[in-house]
Structure 1
Amino acid sequence: MADLSSSSFPDSYELRAATVADAGAIYELVAARERELLGRPDTEPDRIAADLTLPGLDPAVDTLLVYDTAECLVGRAWVHGGRRSAVDVHPDHRGRGLGSALLDWAEARARQAGGERLSQTLSDGDRAAVGLLRSRGYEPFVTQWLLEIEMPAEPVLPGPPPGITVRPFRPGDERAAYRLTEDAFDEWQKRRKSYEEWARNTVELDTFESELSAVAFAGDEMVGAVLSLNVPDTDEGYVERVAVRKDHRNRGIARLLLQTSFRAFYRRGRRTCTLWTHSETGALSLYQRVGMTVRRGSAVYGKALGVE
């Protein structure tokens, strides 16, 4: 755990590192913040567990939990690879300096891990957290959008391009889907994920469902994929990944795969589907042409850490 001697946690709080067993309590904390901010939870429970088992993340030194005198979890932070971070404070404990103290800890841990720049993603509506980051020298550098499409009627599928076949995702497609999506994302992402890290946040999620996901083939080569999640306790479908191989773009494959996934959700009783995209992918216009609109936005904020 990073040195806490220079931080400003109030004496009434207890601190410790997280373990995988804390995933449920962390989810409840994150859900409380999201209910206040968005009106409902936005993060799936298994996403929290996936974060705690990311390759390269050691919970003993890369996470911090904050408990009040009633032994309730009221704050948390994690740092992955000295580059990415997250900080959450329970709404009932805001205004007590916990956010600043957790940010101090995250920056100290990132420097300790050799990080030169630290980033954190915040919703545009989280004005207090955005104000804190801006006051500490963080600047937005990526814009993200949650897109949605309403489906009052069953989506109609366009015909496949010549030589292209589409089917639901099947067991055994995992490695091909990994290579396809990471190759596509290499055009904008800063770091290529290992298969293990990618899988923990896609096909190994409890909410991943192959029947709601679609893949496209040219012969026996996968050239497109839409990977979808069946999130419980919601009336919406969610698309986690969209990718088409570079040499097969602009042929209508992405539209066909999205419509296939949308139709599968519709047949499950979902009348809305959502997905996230961001400014570095250049895909916003594609989704808008399919009929999706922006529901809300967020931004990734970054700061050069320097040496202290």
Structure 2
Amino acid sequence: MTYAHRLATRADLPAIVDIYNSVIPERSATCDWEPITVASREAWFAESDPDRYPVWVGHEPGSPTVVTGYVSLEPFLNGRRGYDITADLALYLHPEHRGRGQGEHLLGQAVARAPELGFQTIATTIFASNERSLRLFRARGFQEWGRLPAVADLGDRLEDVVFVGLPL
């Protein structure tokens, strides 16, 4: 399937939250145990900046209001100035759009645009058991930079976190 993307708007926040909440019960991509709310993500969205820390939403061509996933570039390691050359990336897909090319499209967008936004590196963390995401990032050239053993408590198990990055 072919996908498109656009900058997220405030009107997309409920769909973004729904997509994020869809992965919580799976215990595959976040350490949150309880669903989040739109209100709890208002500040996060307000701090996004299309010229520096954008949030893009994916959609099928011809349906720009139906959000199928999102990717964001965010400050790395608490936003300390020395890390301004690096972006922390977050990528989440609607369950019906996983494995259909949406992840490749959104990740490709982030990698392509990051240098224009002033970044020299993109980094993110992925659970070691999330092979689908690890394959996606490796296919885009991301390399494993480290593994943090048993640092994530998912309720039913401890999970290793893989730190991956890509110099641009």
Q: TM-score when scaled to structure 1? A: 0.42
Residue 55 of structure 2 is matched in structure 1 by 63
Look up the equivalent residue of 1:108 and give its one-letter code: A
Look up the equivalent residue of 2:46 and give its one-letter code: T
Q: Helix, strand or coil for the counterpart of 2:42?
A: helix
Contact 1:67 1:73 in 2 (8 A): yes
Per-residue Cα deviation, 1:121-170 (whole angstroms, up to 9, x for no partner): 2122221111111222212334441248xxxxxxxxxxxxxxxxxxxxxx
Look up the equivalent residue of 1:22 and give its one-letter code: D
Unaligned 5+ segments in structure 1 are 1-8, 149-273, 275-293
Q: CA RMSD in A?
A: 3.2
For residue 50 of structure 1, the aligned residue among 20, 27, 43 is 43
Residue 124 of structure 1 is matched in structure 2 by 128
Q: TM-score when scaled to structure 2? A: 0.71
Residue 76 of structure 1 is matched in structure 2 by 70
Per-residue Cα deviation, 1:244-292 (whole angstroms, up to 9, x for no partner): xxxxxxxxxxxxxxxxxxxxxxxxxxxxxx8xxxxxxxxxxxxxxxxxx
**Structure 2 Cα separation of the partners of residues 64 and 72 of structure 1:** 13
Residue 89 of structure 1 is matched in structure 2 by 93
Distance 1:138 1:295, change over 3 A: same
Unaligned 5+ segments in structure 2 are 76-85
User: Does residue 146 of structure 1 match 2:152?
Assistant: yes
* Corresponding pairs, count: 150
Contact 2:146 2:164 in 1 (8 A): yes
Q: Helix, strand or coil for the counterpart of 2:99?
A: coil
Per-residue Cα deviation, 1:26-53 (whole angstroms, up to 9, x for no partner): 1110121333444998263355333323
Residue 81 of structure 2 is matched in structure 1 by none
Per-residue Cα deviation, 1:285-307 (whole angstroms, up to 9, x for no partner): xxxxxxxxx722322211111xx
State the percentage of identical aligned residues. 25
